[in-house]
């Protein structure tokens, strides 16, 4: 295995350090944009879209979801989303049957590939939606994932 080079900046939780980092240009100020509580509390896709400031999402074949058809353990379900839509601005991953739908949202600045991956918890078999904002509009692709062992609780 390749050796990972890793350096650690002493960040601690001191605001002064962060403030200094921002003014020194290490971190962009936008890095600390408000966490969208309303979107993460929403129970379905429409409410998530509303909380993000969007309307309905249009189905799109230009969004690819890479994920297993069956997940052995709902606690860890790998999901990657790739968008071929021009001017992709953000990618969100929603699990329909979770207590709250939205799992994660990624903002894609220019220069970053519209292709992200993470792992999410699924309490049961469910549709997973990838919602992409591109050119100011919302698009969605959906994939069903079966879970053999629920990922909430135990």
Partner 1 sequence: MKKDKLIAVLLAATALTTLSVQPVLAQAQEDSQKQIERYRELLADGNPAELVEARGETLWKQKRGPKNASLEACDLGLGAGKVAGVNAVLPRYFPDVDRVMDLESRIIYCEITLQGFTMDELTKRPHSLNPSERQTDHEALTVYVVGQSRGAKVNLSQSHPKERESYLRGEKMFFFKGGPYDFACATCHGVDGQRIRLQDLPNFQKADNAQRAFTTWPAYRVSQGAVRTMQWRLLDCFRQQRMPEMVFLSPASIDLITYMGVKGKDGIMDAPAIKR
Partner 2 sequence: MADPMRIRAQLKGDVTEVRVLMAHVMETGQRKDSAGNVVPAFHIQEVTATWNGKSVLTAQFGPAVSQNPVMNFSFKGGAKGDKVVVSWTDTKGDKRTDEAVIS
Residue 53 makes contact with partner 1 by CB under 8 A: no
Residue 95 makes contact with partner 1 by CB under 8 A: no
Binding letters toward partner 2, positions 88-127, x by CB under 8 A: -------x--xxx-xxxxxxxx-xxx-xxxxxxxx-----
**Four-residue CA torsion sign, 135, 78, 152, 69:** positive
**Residue 9 or 136 having the CB closest to partner 2:** 9
H/E element holding 115?
strand 115-120
Question: Phi-psi region for residue 21, left (φ > 0), alpha (ψ -120 to 50) or beta?
Answer: alpha
**Quick one: what does residue 84 bind among partner 2, partner 1, none, with the CB cut-off 5 to 8 Å set by partner type?**
none
Residue 103 makes contact with partner 1 by CB under 8 A: no
Phi and psi at residue 134, to the nearest 5°: -140, 130
Question: Phi-psi region for residue 113, left (φ > 0), alpha (ψ -120 to 50) or beta?
Answer: beta
CA angle in degrees (0–180, nearest 5) for 99-91-138: 90
CB 79 within 8 A of CB 67: yes
**Residue 1 or 16 having the CB closest to partner 1:** 1
**Residue 134 or 145 having the CB closest to partner 1:** 145
Shortest distance, CB of residue 68 to partner 1, whole angstroms? 4
**Residue 115 or 127 having the CB closest to partner 2:** 115
Question: What residue ranges bind partner 2 (CB under 8 A)?
Answer: 2, 4-9, 11-13, 18, 21, 25-28, 30-33, 35-36, 39-40, 75-78, 80, 95, 98-100, 102-109, 111-113, 115-122, 151-153
């Amino acid at each position: 295995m390749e050796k990972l080079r890793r350096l650690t900046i002493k960040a601690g939780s001191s605001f002064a350090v962060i403030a200094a980092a921002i003014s020194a240009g290490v971190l962009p100020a936008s890095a600390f944009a408000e966490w969208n509580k309303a979107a993460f509390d929403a129970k379905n896709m429409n409410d998530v879209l509303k909380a993000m400031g969007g309307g309905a999402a249009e189905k799109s074949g230009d969004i690819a979801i890479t994920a297993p058809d069956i997940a052995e353990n709902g606690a860890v379900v790998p999901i990657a989303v790739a968008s071929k839509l021009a001017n992709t601005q953000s990618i969100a991953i929603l699990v329909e049957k979770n207590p709250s739908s939205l799992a994660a949202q990624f903002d894609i600045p220019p220069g970053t590939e519209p292709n992200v991956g993470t792992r999410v918890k699924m309490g049961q078999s469910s549709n997973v939606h990838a919602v992409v904002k591109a050119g100011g509009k919302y698009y969605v692709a959906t994939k069903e994932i079966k879970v053999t062992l629920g990922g909430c609780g135990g």
